[in-house]
Amino acid sequence: MTYTSFRRSNDTPHGGIASVYYNDKEGVAEMTGRDYYTSTGRKRAANGLVEWGMRSGFGILRSYHSKGKRYVVGRRNAKYSISLKNNSRSRLEVVVSVDGLDVVDGKPASLRKRGYILAPEQTVEIRGWRSSEEEVASFMFSPVGGSYSHLKHGETQNIGVVGLAVFTEKGIDPWSGRSADGPRRFSASPFAESPLRRAR
pLDDT recorded at residue 1 = 81
pLDDT recorded at residue 146 = 72
CA–CA gap between residue 117 and residue 166 (Å, rounded): 10
Q: Indicate if the pLDDT at residue 14 is higher than 50.
A: yes
DSSP string, the chain: -------BS-SSPTT--EEEEEE-HHHHHHHHTT--EEE-S-EEEGGGTEEEEEEETTEEPPEEEETTEEEEE--TT-EEEEEEEE-SSS-EEEEEEETTEETTTSSB--TTS--EEEPTT-EEEE-EEE-SSS-EEEEE---GGGSHHHHHH---TTTTEEEEEEEEBTTB-TTT-SBTTHHHHHT--TTPPP------
Average pLDDT, the chain: 90
pLDDT recorded at residue 62 = 98
> How sure is the predictor about 187, in pLDDT bands with cuts at 50, 70 and 90?
low
Q: What is the mean pLDDT of residues 6-15?
A: 97
CA–CA gap between residue 79 and residue 199 (Å, rounded): 77
Q: What is the mean pLDDT of residues 64-79?
A: 97
Q: What is the pLDDT of residues 148-179, one digit of tens each?
A: 776 676 777 889 999 999 999 999 999 999 98
CA–CA gap between residue 195 and residue 179 (Å, rounded): 28
Q: Indicate if the pLDDT at residue 199 is higher than 90.
A: no
Q: What percent of the chain clears pLDDT 90, i.e. is strictly above it?
A: 76
- Within 8 A by CB and 6+ apart from 52, the residues are 18, 20, 42, 43, 45, 82, 83, 84, 85, 164
CA–CA gap between residue 100 and residue 21 (Å, rounded): 12
pLDDT recorded at residue 198 = 46
pLDDT recorded at residue 51 = 98
pLDDT recorded at residue 151 = 66
| Predicted structure pTM score | 0.86
Q: What is the pLDDT of residues 112-140, one digit of tens each?
A: 999 999 999 999 999 999 988 888 999 99
Q: What is the mean pLDDT of residues 96-111?
A: 95
